[in-house]
A and B are shown apart, each in its own frame.
Chain A
């Protein structure tokens, strides 16, 4: 997996690291991170564009009311991915929201 060996993010939007390795606090964070890398590899978007969007998302958050809440890097990462995929017509935001709502309606009990 040489193509993702170098973490392609600039210093101002690096993900949380420990001992030089990426930290995922929850499983979904790893999956979103991996999806972004794989989509960039397939040229669904340029990594620069994703990075620029991520910086915008974090900047937006910093001036918003949500600033009161905890900073969770991967929430911003996922939001940036959503925006980039919508702008590239890869995944429509409405389609994503509908699928998310459908999953939310499943019986609760176990995570995946």
Chain B
């Protein structure tokens, strides 16, 4: 049975169990978060930490994200196409899936609840600065905010900017400081 067939059967099972009142989406999300929260995003954090320390890797990552993350051998890395977009002083990137919740789960784990929320999905395109502000993220007026709409074919991940004071730190320390939200683009990493 292929993975997509298994995914369909899992979805079918969830819908039947929900109708029977035995499970609900919120409890499932809570349970998953409990087990999963730090694992998935750690893959992405490894990628970011390496890119910060290794200019050649960063160049490969930005040129072809899918090929570059293959170097890590993450299990379940079947992302058809991963595009990594770099935050710079001139551009801040933020990722959304306006149609549903396509997400680079191979590097970021499972999407947070708000990512699937219709309000985030529609508003971040219309008024990204306002949405980012609600996440506590103020983007300078002269920085362009670029919104990337994911699909089943292309998933995006943000390469956040490293605070200057972190330069010279070890890979593991840097990776531990990279948050999931910074790789979705709703957060800017600060000292």
Q: Which residues of A contact B (CB under 8 A)?
A: 1, 4-5, 16, 18-19, 21-35, 37-39, 42, 44, 72, 74-75, 78, 81-82, 85, 90-91, 95-96, 99-100, 102-104, 108-112
Contacts and interface: CB of A to CB of B under 8 A. Distances in A.
Given A27-B105, A29-B10, 20 more contacts: A18-B39, A19-B38, A22-B35, A24-B109, A25-B106, A27-B7, A30-B32, A33-B31, A34-B31, A35-B14, A38-B22, A74-B6, A81-B13, A90-B20, A90-B22, A99-B16, A104-B8, A109-B152, A110-B100, A110-B151
B64 interface: no
Interface string B5-39: 11111111111110010110001111110111011
A5 B130 CA distance: 37
A1 B31 contact: yes
Contact of A103 (B8, B29, B39, B100): B8
Nearest to B15: A99
Q: Does more than half of chain A's interface fall in helix, strand or loop, or is it mixed?
A: helix
Interface of B: 1, 3, 5-17, 20, 22-23, 27-32, 34-36, 38-40, 42, 75-76, 78, 97, 99-102, 105-106, 109-111, 151-152
A111 B100 contact: yes
Q: Does more than half of chain B's interface fall in helix, strand or loop, or is it mixed?
A: helix
Contacts of B5: 100, 104
A39 B39 contact: no
Contacts, number: 143
A110 B22 contact: no
B12 A103 contact: yes
A17 to B, nearest CB: 9
B148 to A, nearest CB: 15
Nearest to A109: B152
A42 to B, nearest CB: 6
B13 A23 contact: no
B110 A30 contact: yes
Nearest to B116: A112
Contacts of A82: 9, 13
B35 A30 contact: yes
Given A24-B36, A30-B36, A78 B31 contact: no
Nearest to B105: A27
Nearest to B9: A100
Given A27-B110, A35-B13, A1 B105 contact: no
Contacts of A19: 38-39, 42
In the complex, the 9 A-B pairs of residues with the closest C-beta atoms, listed nearest first: A25-B76, A34-B31, A99-B12, A28-B10, A28-B7, A30-B32, A100-B12, A22-B35, A34-B28
